[in-house]
Homo-oligomer: A and B are copies of this chain.
Amino acid sequence: MARQIKYGMVGGHNKAFIGDVHRKALNFDPRAELVAGCFSTREALNRETGETYGLAADRVYPDYETMAKAEAARPDGIDFVVIVTPNATHYPVAKCFLEAGIHVFCEKPLCFTVEQAEDLKRISEAKGLLFGVAHAYTGYTMSKVMKEMIAEGKIGEIVAVNAEYAQDWLLNELDPNSTGQTNIAIWRTDPSQSGIANCIGDIGTHIENYVAYITGRKIRRVLATRDKFGKALELNANMIVEYDNGAHGAYWCSQVAAGHCNGLAVRVYGDKGSLEWVQENPEVVRFTPVNEAPRIINRGTAAVTEKAGAFGRIPSGHPEGLYVAFANLYREYLNAIEAKKAGRDASGFDFPTVDMGLDGVKFVHAVVESADNGSKWVDIR
């Protein structure tokens, strides 16, 4: 039973950040084992990372194409690949592994164009392969609790949403003389590396994905402004969205909002009550039933919904943190892998899929189109 699901990783060398989060999150599950990788194009770093995790030398590959081909050919080849490379490479890497017949779990953003996203969706469906996308915030137990509460009608029909993702780490870029974050900022605001958008893609999509996840509402159309402050891509954006039930939501994302770290904050208002949640303190939800006092619901207490609450792992009042959010995505993804391997139905598991990735790409394109065309309404199809 131990480590019966084998996985590989593309990207995520020892000095990178997010690949390590994926590895640690997968370590929460005794079923998964890292056995192959192409962690870096720098040979020494690639090799050292493999050694750190005790990989066989012949399964540390020089490039991802070789890896996909070799692993697909092995009888004990990897069941799935985790893709944690720079954003611009997600599409070719993911496509390569899909074509090799290997399940994929990819960092967000899924890719840059709607065509790419639809391509990945098409291939994975045609081949019957699982495709997970790392929208980790949906993995927090209380995210699932809110989703369940809304589905149960606890706040009724949605009448308004106010959501934001505010950061301040690019604030120094507003100073033309600043050099502090320059390299990062160049990367972030370089269309060849970031696509058509910077913060809309990087964090705006988290808003879109998160609200869609917990409410189940689709966005019908969107209007927006984006503020570039002299850079090639935006550092701040405002959006008004219209949902399929006619209600409106206000979304704001910024990387120049002093005092914010990773300030994803989501408030959903219905005709029977409201829910409020803040990523930086993800253990609690503020729930206000109509005509009653607001309630502070803690993960792990009797006040949480039963099914979603079961995602919690430790007693209430002990913060589970971001690793557990990732681990919850992977628990469901591994359940799906297990089902696939056993020939069972692998649908219905609760992890973000290529469909959500596609929705995110469509959202970014519509927002940019609106912002660059006088903030007119742009439909999302």
A interface residues (Cβ-Cβ under 8 A, vs B): 1-3, 17, 20-21, 24, 27-28, 30, 51-55, 155, 159-160, 162, 164, 167-169, 171-172, 174-175, 223, 225, 227, 229, 236, 238, 240, 242, 246-250, 252, 254, 256-263, 267, 269-274, 276, 279-283, 286-298, 300-303, 313-324, 374-377
Contacts and interface: CB of A to CB of B under 8 A. Distances in A.
B247 A250 contact: no
A172 B293 contact: no
Contacts of A169: 315
Determine the main DSSP class of A at the interface with B: loop
A256 to B, nearest CB: 6
Contacts of A172: 290-291
A288 B52 contact: no
Contact of A259 (B259, B276, B319, B321): B276
B160 A227 contact: yes
Given A52-B1, A295-B295, A236 B317 contact: no
A187 to B, nearest CB: 16
Contacts of A287: 293
A261 B293 contact: no
Given A52-B2, A238-B250, A375-B377, A317 B171 contact: no
28 contacts: A2-B55, A21-B314, A24-B27, A27-B28, A159-B174, A159-B256, A160-B227, A160-B252, A162-B252, A227-B248, A238-B250, A240-B240, A240-B375, A250-B250, A257-B267, A257-B269, A258-B288, A259-B276, A261-B315, A262-B318, A293-B297, A319-B319, A319-B321, A320-B321, A320-B322, A321-B321, A321-B322, A376-B376
